[in-house]
Amino acid sequence: MMQAPASSLIVIPCLNEAAHIGALLDQLRPSAERLSARIIVADGGSTDGTLAIVEDVAARDPRVILLHNRRRIQSAAINLAVGTFGEGAEYLIRIDAHGGYPDDYCDRLVEEALATGADSVVVSMLTSGSGAVQKAAAAAQNSKLGTGGSKHRHLSAGEWIDHGHHALMRISAFGAVGGYDETFSHNEDAELDYRLRQAGYRIWMSGRTQMVYYPRASLKGLYFQYLGYGRGRAKNVLKHRVIPKVRQMVPLAVFPVVLLAAFSFIHWIAAVPLLLWMSVCLGYGLAAAIRQRKADVALAGVSAMVMHFAWSVGFWLQLLGLGARRGVA
């Protein structure tokens, strides 16, 4: 007997998340039952035991479905899930496998979609960490220094916005604009939000729920993540011919400033912009550590420098058509 269509699809793009996926599914299953939703785990080729964990849960709960995402990237994972199981469903709820969520997260999203009539409900993304490097990265990502004051990086009372961290979307709106652009491995959410707004759809920032993101635990991982973000933003600029916002223009100068400093052997003044940028970042980290009385937060300035530099490098490389695109986010 065929299963009735679900009212919502809870989609989890996933790759090597054995440490988190079991607990996440246990947390989401009660919401799926309340909302008559299916949980689709779109796996990009995990090799760490993730598949066995999902298969075990799916064997016990028919609402949980494992889907193999051969293209690996998140944009393709969600498109595949909606294309395969979206018929008859009203809402797509996107869940990041490496995030933290309130138990009523999905319920609140649906309630706000119904109350506001929004086509997309986005959420604030607060960052938290455990080790020294991860805590420093979290402090940088929660600050204006690290994110330029991006609205979805801070708590909201509820408002209409242009872009935020993707949480819920009407499947009819998602399909009408063509879903995610699978040529994007990063920044696919901002690119889709641009097309949603151009088509007249409305995006609501939730004031009733939020998620917690756990950043990379090494500076190397943080660098490659933001390198991808920079590339993604440049692809968005090139595709839609949009001018970057002021908060995005500032870090764009970092890579040129570093290159300029290479000519300080000709005249010392070439190093001044680099020294000023470093002083601002390191000074911010030190001030935050003193204010919060947490010594490890002092490294937030270093994390911000890595984020700025990597984002700037990625943007310029993509803009100039140089270098190969890294694979999965």
In a domain, 55, yes or no: yes
Q: Token pair for residue 22?
A: 């079991």
In a domain, 1, yes or no: no
Nearest-CA neighbor of 308 among 193, 180, 175, 219? 219
The answer to whether residues 154 and 181 belong to one domain is yes
In a domain, 198, yes or no: yes
Q: Which residues of 18-48 are buried (b: 16+ CB within 10 A; e: fewer)?
A: bebbbebbebbbebbeebebbbbbbbbebee
The answer to whether residues 165 and 292 belong to one domain is no
In a domain, 138, yes or no: no
The answer to whether residues 125 and 232 belong to one domain is no
User: What is the per-residue pLDDT for 152?
Assistant: 58
Measure CA 129 to chain center.
16
Q: Token pair for residue 37?
A: 């939703």
Three-state secondary-structure class, residue 323 = coil
The answer to whether residues 73 and 154 belong to one domain is yes
In a domain, 145, yes or no: no
Work out the angle between the directed axes of helices 132-141 and 219-240 (0-180°, nearest 10).
30
Boundary-marking domain end, from 172, 188, 215? 215
In a domain, 2, yes or no: no
Contact between residue 57 and residue 64 where contact means Cβ atoms under 8 Å apart: yes
Q: Token pair for residue 149?
A: 């004051």
Nearest-CA neighbor of 186 among 46, 42, 326? 326
Boundary-marking domain end, from 169, 200, 215? 215
User: What is the per-residue pLDDT for 250?
Assistant: 82
Our count of domains for the chain comes to: 2
The answer to whether residues 84 and 119 belong to one domain is yes
User: What is the per-residue pLDDT for 46?
Assistant: 93
In a domain, 92, yes or no: yes
The answer to whether residues 196 and 248 belong to one domain is no
User: What is the per-residue pLDDT for 59?
Assistant: 96
The answer to whether residues 155 and 75 belong to one domain is yes
Average pLDDT, the chain: 89
Domain that holds residue 262: 220-319
In a domain, 114, yes or no: yes
Residue by residue, what is the 3-state secondary structure of 174-185?
HHHCCCCCCCCC
What is each CA distance from 139 to 94, 124, 150, 162, 283, in whole angstroms? 25, 15, 14, 25, 14
Work out the angle between the directed axes of helices 132-141 and 300-319 (0-180°, nearest 10).
70
The answer to whether residues 119 and 225 belong to one domain is no
User: What is the per-residue pLDDT for 133?
Assistant: 86
The Cα–Cα gap between 43 and 92 comes to: 17
Q: What is the CATH number of the domain that holds 166?
A: 3.90.550.10
The answer to whether residues 190 and 253 belong to one domain is no
Per-position pLDDT tens, the chain of length 329: 344 455 899 999 999 999 899 999 999 999 999 999 999 999 999 999 999 999 999 999 999 999 999 999 999 999 999 999 998 899 999 999 888 999 999 999 999 999 999 999 999 888 887 788 888 888 888 887 876 656 656 667 789 999 989 999 999 999 999 999 999 988 899 999 999 999 999 999 998 999 998 888 899 999 999 999 999 999 999 999 887 777 777 889 999 999 999 999 999 999 999 999 999 999 999 998 898 888 878 889 999 999 999 999 999 999 998 865 444 33
The answer to whether residues 210 and 231 belong to one domain is no
The answer to whether residues 36 and 113 belong to one domain is yes
Boundary-marking domain end, from 159, 189, 215? 215
The answer to whether residues 167 and 40 belong to one domain is yes
User: What is the per-residue pLDDT for 98?
Assistant: 83
